[in-house]
C-alpha cells in the first residue's frame, strides 16, 4: 500500500486491513462470510424498533428476507422510506452487516428503512440479487399504507455493490414503470464490469477493495456461463439512457478503484438532466467510512444524513 497519501486519521488501522483476498471458489467465499458473520455486532439503539419479515420474490423466486426499522417516536403523518441494499462485492454482506447503519438512518432521518437480504453470487449470479431488490421495492410501494409510508417519498440506497444494485433497481423501476423513486443514494457504487477506468487500473493493492477483488466480484456476479453483452441492469455504467432517473447523491473515495466509475456515472446523469450531488473525499479508501473516528468519515456521515433529510422532506 505504499505510495498512497492516505489521511493521517487512518494510519493506525491501515496495517491491519486486508488487501487482495482470495475469492476464487465458493468454499473460500463461504468461509469468509462465516468469519465476518462471527464478528460481534453493535448495540441496538433505544430509539429504533426492528422487525424481520419475508416478502414475496419475483415470480418463481424464493421469498426475500427483509429487516424493517422504524423510529420509536414517529412524526405525525406518513413517513418517508429508504430501501437499503448492503454491499459486499455481490458475494458477501447481509442485513446484519448493515444493521448499525440502518438503525442510524431510521433514528436520525426519522424514516422507515427496509433492508434487503438479497441472494448472493456466486451461488446466485445476476439477475438473482437484482430481482430480489426490485421485488422488495415493489412490495414496499404496494404495502406503503401498512408500513405507514408515503408512496411518493420512497428512496433507494446502497453502498459499494449495494450502490450498483441501487442504481440498477432505479433503472429497472424506470423502464418497467414501477414504483416512482424520489431519490437514489449511491455510496461508493460498483457500476462497471469493464474495469477500464484510470482508478481501476491504478489501485491494485488498496485496502479492503482493489482491482483483483473487483475482477473476482464481476466474474462471480455475471456467472461462469455468461457470454455476449453485459446487461446495463447488471452494470449500470453500460446504460446508454440515464434520463428520467430520480435525483441522486454519489460519493467516491480518493484511493478506491471504484472512484472513477462513480464520478463518471454522476456526470452522465447530470448530462441527462438528472439532479445530482457528487462528493469525493480526499485521503480515503473504499470502506474507510466504517472508521468513524476519522474526520472524513464524520463529514461523510453528516453529509449523507443531511442529504437524506433534505431529499425525503424530513428536515427539522
Q: What is the mean pLDDT of each run of 10 residues along the chain (316 residues)?
A: 87 93 96 91 92 95 98 89 98 96 97 98 98 98 97 98 98 98 98 98 97 97 92 98 98 98 98 98 97 96 96 80
Residue 2 belongs to a domain: no
Cell of 291: 472508521
In a domain, 208, yes or no: yes
Q: Which residues are catalytic?
A: 160, 256, 286
| 94 in a structural domain | yes
- Whole-number pLDDT of residue 316: 60
Give the separation between CA 146 and CA 302, rounded to whole angstroms: 30
Of 163, 88, 165, 181, residue with least CA distance to 128: 165
The count of structural domains within the chain is 1
Establish if 3 belongs to a structural domain.
no
- At 271 the pLDDT is 98
Residue pair 280/274 in contact (Cβ under 8 Å)? The answer is no
Domain that holds residue 197: 8-312
Q: What pLDDT sits at residue 76?
A: 83
Residue 1 falls within a domain, yes or no? no
Contact 181, 143 (CB under 8 A): no
Rounded Cα distance, 248 and 193, in Å: 21
What pLDDT is stored for residue 5 in this prediction?
A: 96
pLDDT of residue 314: 76
Q: How far is CA 209 from CA 115, 160, 174, 224, 254, in A?
A: 23, 10, 30, 22, 12
Please name which of 36, 108, 44, 43 lies closest in space to residue 71, comparing C-alpha atoms.
108
* Cis bond upstream, residue 106 (ω within 30): no
Q: How far apart are CA 115 and CA 148, in angstroms?
A: 16
Q: Is residue 152 part of a domain?
A: yes
Domain assignment of residue 37, yes or no: yes
Question: What separation in angstroms does the CA of 8 have from each of 14, 170, 293, 295?
Answer: 10, 37, 11, 10
Q: What per-residue confidence (pLDDT) applies to 238?
A: 98
User: Is 75 contained in some domain?
Assistant: yes
pTM over 0.95: yes
Residue 83 sits in a domain of what CATH number? 3.40.50.1820
Whole-number pLDDT of residue 227: 86
Coil, helix or strand at residue 254: strand
Q: Is 233 helix (H, G, I), strand (E, B) or coil?
A: coil
- Selection from 174, 274, 157 nearest residue 233 by Cα: 174
Amino acid at each position: 500500500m505504499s505510495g498512497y497519501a492516505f489521511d493521517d486519521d487512518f494510519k493506525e488501522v491501515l496495517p491491519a486491513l486486508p488487501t487482495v483476498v482470495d475469492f476464487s471458489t465458493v468454499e473460500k467465499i463461504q468461509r469468509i462470510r462465516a468469519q465476518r458473520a462471527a464478528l460481534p455486532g453493535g448495540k441496538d439503539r433505544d430509539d429504533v424498533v426492528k422487525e424481520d419479515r419475508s416478502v414475496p420474490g419475483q415470480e418463481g423466486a424464493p421469498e426475500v428476507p427483509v429487516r424493517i426499522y422504524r423510529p420509536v417516536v414517529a412524526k405525525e403523518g406518513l413517513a418517508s422510506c429508504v430501501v437499503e441494499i448492503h454491499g459486499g462485492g455481490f458475494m458477501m454482506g447481509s442485513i446484519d452487516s448493515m444493521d448499525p447503519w440502518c438503525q442510524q438512518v431510521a433514528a436520525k432521518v426519522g424514516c422507515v428503512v427496509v433492508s434487503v437480504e438479497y441472494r448472493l453470487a456466486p451461488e446466485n449470479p445476476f439477475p438473482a440479487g437484482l430481482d430480489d431488490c426490485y421485488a422488495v421495492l415493489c412490495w414496499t410501494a404496494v404495502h406503503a399504507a401498512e408500513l405507514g409510508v408515503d408512496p411518493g417519498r420512497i428512496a433507494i440506497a446502497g453502498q459499494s455493490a449495494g450502490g450498483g444494485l441501487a442504481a440498477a433497481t432505479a433503472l429497472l423501476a424506470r423502464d418497467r414503470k414501477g414504483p416512482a423513486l424520489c431519490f437514489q443514494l449511491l455510496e461508493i457504487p460498483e457500476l462497471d464490469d469493464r474495469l477500464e477506468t484510470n482508478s481501476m487500473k491504478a489501485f491494485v493493492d488498496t485496502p479492503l477493495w482493489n482491482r483483483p477483488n473487483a475482477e473476482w466480484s464481476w466474474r462471480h456476479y455475471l456467472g461462469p456461463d455468461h457470454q455476449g453483452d453485459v446487461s446495463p441492469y447488471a452494470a449500470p455504467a453500460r446504460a446508454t439512457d440515464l434520463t428520467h432517473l430520480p435525483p441522486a447523491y454519489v460519493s467516491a473515495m480518493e484511493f478506491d478503484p471504484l472512484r472513477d466509475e462513480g464520478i463518471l456515472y454522476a456526470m452522465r446523469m447530470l448530462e441527462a438532466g438528472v439532479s445530482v450531488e457528487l462528493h469525493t473525499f480526499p485521503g480515503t479508501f473504499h470502506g474507510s467510512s466504517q472508521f468513524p473516528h476519522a474526520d472524513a468519515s464524520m463529514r461523510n456521515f453528516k453529509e449523507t444524513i443531511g442529504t437524506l433529510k433534505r431529499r425525503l422532506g424530513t428536515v427539522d
